[in-house]
Structure 1
Amino acid sequence: MRTLQQQTLWRWICVRILALAIGSVVVIAVCMWLRFAVQSLWIQHHMPPPLRDEFAVLRTHPETNLARFHEIVDAWWGVSYSDPSIASADWLTVGILVGVMIPFIVVLGLRAARPLSLQFSRLAAAAGAVAAGDFSARAAQVDNAPLEMARFTQNFNAMMQQLARYDRELRASHVAMAHELRSPLTAAIGRLQGMMDGVFTPEPRQLAMVMKQLQLLSRLTDELHLLSLADAGQLSLNKTQTDLTALLRERAAWLGPQAQAARMTLSVTSREACPCLVDPVRLGQVITIVMENALRYATEGGEVTAAAQTTPEGARMVFRDRGPGVPAAFLPVMFERFTRAESSRARHSGGSGLGLSIARGICEAHGGTIQAAPGETGGLVITVTLPAYRHPK
Structure 2
Amino acid sequence: MKQPLRLGISAKLFMAIFSTCMLVIITMHWGVRLSFEHGFVDYIKKGNEQRLTLLSDALADQYEQHGSWDFLRHNDRLIFTILRSLEQNPGSNNQLPPHGWRTQFWIIDQQYKVLSGPRAPVPPEGSRRSITTSNGKVVGWVIASPAERLTRSTDINFDRQQRQTNWMIVGLTTLLAALVTWLLARGLLAPVKRLVDGTHQLAAGKFATRVEVGSSDEIGQLARDFNQLARSLEKNESNRRAFMADISHELRTPLAILRGELEAMQDGVRRLTPEAITSLQSEVVVLTKLVEDLHQLSLSDAGALAYRKQPLDLVNLLEVVAGSFGARYRSRDLTLSLALPAAASSFGDPDRLMQLFTNLLENSLRYTDAGGTVRVSMQQSGEQWQLHFADSAPGVEGEQQARLFERFFRAESSRNRASGGSGLGLAICKNIVEAHGGTISAAHSDLGGLQITLNLPYVPHQTSL
**Aligned-residue offset at 1:108:** 1.0
CA distance in structure 2 between the aligned counterparts of 1:241 and 1:368, rounded to whole angstroms: 16
CA distance in structure 2 between the aligned counterparts of 1:138 and 1:253, rounded to whole angstroms: 53
Partner of 1:379, secondary structure, is strand
1:172 to 232, 242, 252: 242
CA distance in structure 2 between the aligned counterparts of 1:301 and 1:96, rounded to whole angstroms: 99
Partner of 1:340, secondary structure, is coil
Unaligned runs of 5+ in 1: 1-11, 37-49, 83-87
CA distance in structure 1 between the aligned counterparts of 2:268 and 2:97, rounded to whole angstroms: 128
CA distance in structure 2 between the aligned counterparts of 1:55 and 1:335, rounded to whole angstroms: 102
Unaligned runs of 5+ in 2: 1-12, 38-86, 102-126, 130-142
Structure 2 counterpart of 1:114, which letter?
A: R
Structure 2 counterpart of 1:116, which letter?
A: L
CA contact (8 A) 2:333 2:370 kept: no
**Aligned-residue offset at 1:217:** 0.6
CA contact (8 A) 1:301 1:321 kept: no
Structure 1 counterpart of 2:96, which letter?
A: L
CA distance in structure 1 between the aligned counterparts of 2:241 and 2:26, rounded to whole angstroms: 62
- Taking a change above 3 Å as real, the CA distance of residues 234 and 116 of structure 1, as seen in their structure-2 partners, is farther
| Equivalent position of 2:364 in the other structure | 294
1:206 to 264, 269, 276: 276
Structure 2 residue 406 is the aligned partner of structure 1 residue 336: yes
After superposing the two structures, state which structure 1 stretch, 372-381 or 17-26, moved more: 17-26
| Equivalent position of 2:212 in the other structure | 140
CA contact (8 A) 2:312 2:345 kept: yes
CA distance in structure 2 between the aligned counterparts of 1:299 and 1:137, rounded to whole angstroms: 47
**Aligned-residue offset at 1:389:** 3.0
| Equivalent position of 1:96 in the other structure | 168
**Aligned-residue offset at 1:347:** 5.3
**Aligned-residue offset at 1:268:** 1.2
| Equivalent position of 1:78 in the other structure | 155
2:224 to 134, 154, 164: 154
Structure 2 residue 96 is the aligned partner of structure 1 residue 58: yes
RMSD across aligned positions (CA): 3.9
CA distance in structure 2 between the aligned counterparts of 1:336 and 1:56, rounded to whole angstroms: 100
CA contact (8 A) 1:265 1:303 kept: yes
Partner of 2:402, secondary structure, is helix
Partner of 2:176, secondary structure, is helix
| Equivalent position of 2:443 in the other structure | 373
**Aligned-residue offset at 1:232:** 0.8
- Report the count of equivalent residues: 358
Superposed CA deviations along residues 300-328 of structure 1, whole A, max 9, x for unmatched, are 78221112333433333221223232111
Structure 2 counterpart of 1:141, which letter?
A: V
**Aligned-residue offset at 1:237:** 1.2
Structure 2 residue 263 is the aligned partner of structure 1 residue 186: no
Of all paired residues, the percent bearing the same amino acid is: 32
- Taking a change above 3 Å as real, the CA distance of residues 56 and 164 of structure 1, as seen in their structure-2 partners, is farther
Structure 2 residue 335 is the aligned partner of structure 1 residue 258: no
CA distance in structure 2 between the aligned counterparts of 1:172 and 1:210, rounded to whole angstroms: 28
CA distance in structure 1 between the aligned counterparts of 2:144 and 2:447, rounded to whole angstroms: 111
- What does residue range 19-38 of structure 1 map to in structure 2 within 5 Å? none
CA distance in structure 2 between the aligned counterparts of 1:23 and 1:373, rounded to whole angstroms: 69
CA distance in structure 2 between the aligned counterparts of 1:344 and 1:287, rounded to whole angstroms: 26
- Taking a change above 3 Å as real, the CA distance of residues 67 and 322 of structure 1, as seen in their structure-2 partners, is farther
2:200 to 118, 121, 128: 128
CA contact (8 A) 1:340 1:347 kept: no
CA contact (8 A) 2:335 2:371 kept: no
**Aligned-residue offset at 1:67:** 6.6
CA contact (8 A) 2:367 2:420 kept: no
TM-score, normalised via structure 1 length: 0.78
Superposed CA deviations along residues 32-77 of structure 1, whole A, max 9, x for unmatched, are 8xx99xxxxxxxxxxxxx88x99992359x99x9979x7xx96584
- Taking a change above 3 Å as real, the CA distance of residues 270 and 26 of structure 1, as seen in their structure-2 partners, is farther
Partner of 1:371, secondary structure, is strand
2:184 to 109, 112, 122: 112
Structure 2 counterpart of 1:353, which letter?
A: G
| Equivalent position of 2:315 in the other structure | 245
CA distance in structure 1 between the aligned counterparts of 2:420 and 2:446, rounded to whole angstroms: 27
**Aligned-residue offset at 1:289:** 1.3
Looking at both structures, which has the greater relative contact order when contacts are Cα pairs under 8 Å and sequence separation is at least 6?
Answer: 1
Partner of 2:386, secondary structure, is strand
Superposed CA deviations along residues 177-222 of structure 1, whole A, max 9, x for unmatched, are 1110111111112111111111111122211211111121111111
